[in-house]
Structure 1
Amino acid sequence: MGTREDLLAAAKQCLAERGYARTTVRDIVAASGTNLAAINYHFGTRDKLLNQAMMESSAAAVQQILDSLPTGDPADPAARLNTFLTRLTASFTDNTSLWSANVESFTQALHSPDVRAELGAAQERARRELSESFGPATEDNAVGAVLQTMIGGLLIQWLVDPEHAPAPDTIVAGLRALAGQMPPV
């Protein structure tokens, strides 16, 4: 890796460990093994470096969601959803730093138009591809919107209190119960 990549990797690490507000340039320099001038040379400011790290983390998080999608027979949607959620929640514990950095990016998006735009595009991609995978694909990607909304809440629960976060089979059972209460359209 080059200096730019080292800085980005260190910034992602610091975001996951310390959060945006508590990450200093000294933290990034120490984690990257570079020097202070490298941040200015490659990114201009600490904020621009952290924003770039957040945008890359968000893209990686969406890719992790999509990589968790099951392949195979779509005939049993409940089994597919359970497989998907099992893979995804495993990634919450296997790659906590990615998901922690991703959560940090959501709060920063409130203050950065660039981060907001990147997250918006990533969310749209996730909604579209989740809808295509779990169908039926609709113009508004309704299925993907529900799944993406559920994933956000599930992620927070797994990061904050993994011992008590709902298991995939509990989520599937809850969705089934909710669906049973809905009148046909």
Structure 2
Amino acid sequence: MGHREDLLVGAKRCLYEKGFVRTTARDIVAASGTNLGSIGYHYGSKDALMHQALLESMKEWGDELGLALAHAASADSEPMERFEAVWTRVIELMDAHRMMWAANFEILANLDDLPEIRKVLADAQNQGRAGLVSVFLGVDGDGNEYLTRTVGALCQALLVGVVSQWMFDPDNAPSGRDLAEGLRALMAANRAD
């Protein structure tokens, strides 16, 4: 690996160990075995490197999730079975990526001080929604703006809510089955009206 890749690996490690805001350039240099000048040369600034580390971590989680979910529910399963299986697998993957989610929540709390990361995350949000459409419906979310805006946004809201519940109290956070049963109860209540 060259310095550029070493810096990114070190920045991701710092992101997971120290968080986004508390990581210094010196922390990254220590974790990567490079030098301070390498950060500016390869990334322009420590913040730009940390942005890249966060985006890479999120992409890795998304890729791992996509692979795991490819087998979580078959395309011919009933929609509620697929919903439950997908959420069960999402929740199983939370532990391995807990620090990435902690960094995301840290960034959310500091967005007013990080306008450049706000823009990056806002731009990535639609891509994430399209990916969630693909995962939950088994169709290409990139080509369907309506599904991305509706189903993708709903799944994203559920994801952030489930992640926050899981981070606060994993023992009492909802399971895939809980979410499916809750959705069934909501649908039944709406049919009764």
Instruction: Settle same-fold status: TM greater than 0.5.
Output: yes
* 1:80 shift after superposition: 0.9
57-66 or 101-110, which deviates more: 101-110
1:21 aligned residue: 21
Pairwise mapping of residues 20-169 of structure 1 onto structure 2 (< 5 A)? 20-69=20-69, 70-107=72-109, 110-135=112-137, 139-141=146-148, 142-169=150-177
Output the TM-score relative to the length of structure 2.
Answer: 0.79
Q: Offset at 1:131?
A: 2.7
Gaps of 5+ in 1: none
Cα drift, residue 84 of structure 1 = 0.8
- Change in Cα spacing, 1:98 to 1:92, as seen in structure 2 (3 Å) is same
Quick one: distance in 2 between partners of 1:43 and 1:114?
Answer: 14
What is the identity percentage for the equivalent residue pairs of Structure 1 and Structure 2?
Answer: 38
The more displaced of 36-45 and 97-106 is: 97-106
Distance in 2 of aligned mates of 1:93 and 1:132? 23
Q: Is the 8 A contact 1:10 1:28 kept in 2?
A: yes
Contact persistence 1:61–1:102 (CA under 8 A)? no
Unaligned runs of 5+ in 2: none
Q: Any idea what the Cα deviations from partners look like across 1:36-81, whole Å, max 9, x if unmatched? A: 2221221222112112212222333333443343452344112211
TM superposition shift of 1:107: 4.5
Which residue matches 1:172? 180
Q: 1:1-43 CA distances to partner (integer Å, 9 max, x unpaired)?
A: 2211111111122122222221111211111121222212212
Structure 1 CA distance for aligned equivalents of residues 168 and 36 of structure 2: 33
**Contact 1:154–1:165 under 8 Å retained in 2:** yes
The DSSP-based 3-state class of the residue aligned with 2:84 is helix
Give the secondary structure class of the aligned counterpart of 1:182. helix
Instruction: Give how far 1:116 is off.
Output: 3.0
TM-score (norm 1): 0.82
The answer to whether the 8 A contact 2:39-2:49 is kept is yes
Partner of 1:181: 189
Alignment coverage as a number of residue pairs: 184
What is the DSSP-based 3-state SS (H/G/I as helix, E as strand, rest coil) of the residue aligned with 2:146?
A: coil
Report if the CA contact (8 A) 1:130-1:144 is conserved.
yes
Other structure's SS at 1:73 match: coil
Amino acid at match of 2:159: I
